[in-house]
Chain A
């Protein structure tokens, strides 16, 4: 029987839907990310985690601290899995996926960042859970 290698890094947390809680989560992630990944990869990884969490907090939970956001990060075999779920009613990701903010728009760039930086993005049907995969090349991680 072939056993898969243990995860190089894993974080699972349920956090209140506030941006302050996101910052605490990111601070913990940074302690690992900056050790295990080179600067360029860490930047891309943190950016993706931030966008996924910010969407869940702002749009899924309307930054209501009584609501929770669930997040799991796993770095293994040169790829980072980011899974974020909120308990909101979701959004129509099929309609939003190809949107590009107009030049003067001050919002609406989160999904474009996911498109540009992620290797793969998958939503559930309801649109309240997202799974993002970011693959790194061999030289990008230890």
Chain B
């Protein structure tokens, strides 16, 4: 189950399962759209339990970043594993939003 916690104008989303991949995207996309539509200032994706992100997962994060930017909000990714950090650097994700490791 996707966990969502709120604090002032910041929402932290902790995805369900250990992968953000093609099969898990639809549910997470729906939840993130709901949150973005609320007009939240800071959307934080907590990858504590996530071991794998594929190109679909990267696409979802870029999409959330684009949506946040349109309404003047921010996106951040926290607690990424070393392998996911390296993937995000390779794919230039850090040019879009803040990514921090465990």
Contacts and interface: CB of A to CB of B under 8 A. Distances in A.
Given A50-B21, A109-B91, A113-B91, A43 B52 contact: yes
Contacts of B22: 19, 22, 50, 54, 57-58
Nearest to B52: A46
Contacts of A109: 55, 58-59, 91
Q: Does more than half of chain A's interface fall in helix, strand or loop, or is it mixed?
A: helix
B55 A106 contact: no
The interface centre, meaning the residue of B51, B52, B54, B95 with most chain A CB atoms within 10 A of its CB, is B54
B6 interface: no
Nearest to B96: A103
A54 B82 CA distance: 24
A105 B62 contact: yes
Interface residues of B, number: 22
A135 to B, nearest CB: 17
B91 A43 contact: no
Contacts of A43: 51-52, 83, 87
B83 A19 contact: no
B43 interface: no
Given A19-B22, A22-B23, A106 B52 contact: no
A107 B63 CA distance: 9
Nearest to A115: B90
Interface in B81-102: 82-83, 87, 90-92, 95-96
A106 B60 contact: yes
5 contacts: A19-B22, A23-B21, A39-B83, A112-B55, A112-B91
Given A103-B95, A109-B58, 19 more contacts: A20-B23, A40-B83, A46-B52, A47-B52, A50-B21, A51-B54, A54-B21, A54-B56, A57-B22, A58-B22, A104-B66, A106-B60, A106-B63, A107-B55, A107-B59, A109-B59, A113-B54, A113-B55, A113-B87
The 6 closest A-B pairs by CB, nearest first: A19-B23, A43-B83, A109-B55, A106-B59, A110-B55, A106-B63
